[in-house]
Amino acid sequence: MIAAASPRWKLVDQRESVHAARTAVTAVASLLIARLVRLPEAYWAALTSIIVMQSTLGAAWTISKQRLAGTAVGAALGALFVMYAGANWVAFGISVFVAGLICTALHMERNAFRYSGVTLVVIMLIPRNLPVWDVAAHRFAEISLGIAVGLATTAIWPQPGLIEG
């Protein structure tokens, strides 16, 4: 007699199923809220919430502070450089260097510098028809919203069986 094979869905760890559900709910919530408040690139909020959801609350809080700080540095610096030096490769290179110096001077970790660089790319290298300060403000708002929704979900609906660390 051949034993019946167990269905594949039973092979999925229950914790991972819950984690997938939490992440999906959070990503959709971030996207819908960003659309509701008419942020032009709402997908950044969803993307950020997915990143936040991959950690415990303690770890998410730490990386979220770095992401928020780095995004703020990159958005402000990107807007300033575009306004006064233009959106060209020389200004971009100098702005990345300056972002690194600012993050170091403010005793931020390299994660903050990484996020400032990503934001500089978004602000300086993607052509748009909006004023640069609007683009920078939208980018900061989209990231902030994704962080807030991700942290709220992590606090309200913690991952079962996960020890904070």
Structural domain boundaries of the chain? 15-156
Place of tokens 């996020």: 115
Instruction: Going residue by residue through the chain, which has 165 residues, state the pLDDT in tens, using 9 for 90 and above.
Output: 555 555 555 566 788 888 899 999 999 999 999 999 999 999 999 999 999 998 888 888 988 999 999 999 999 999 999 999 999 999 999 999 999 999 999 999 899 999 999 999 999 999 999 999 999 999 999 999 999 999 999 999 987 765 554
Distance CA 55, CA 59 (A): 6
Alpha carbons 89 and 102: distance in angstroms, whole number: 20
Q: Cα–Cα distance between 37 and 18 in angstroms, integer?
A: 29
- Output the pTM of the full model: 0.84
CB-based contacts of 51, cutoff 8 Å, min separation 6? 63, 67, 146, 150
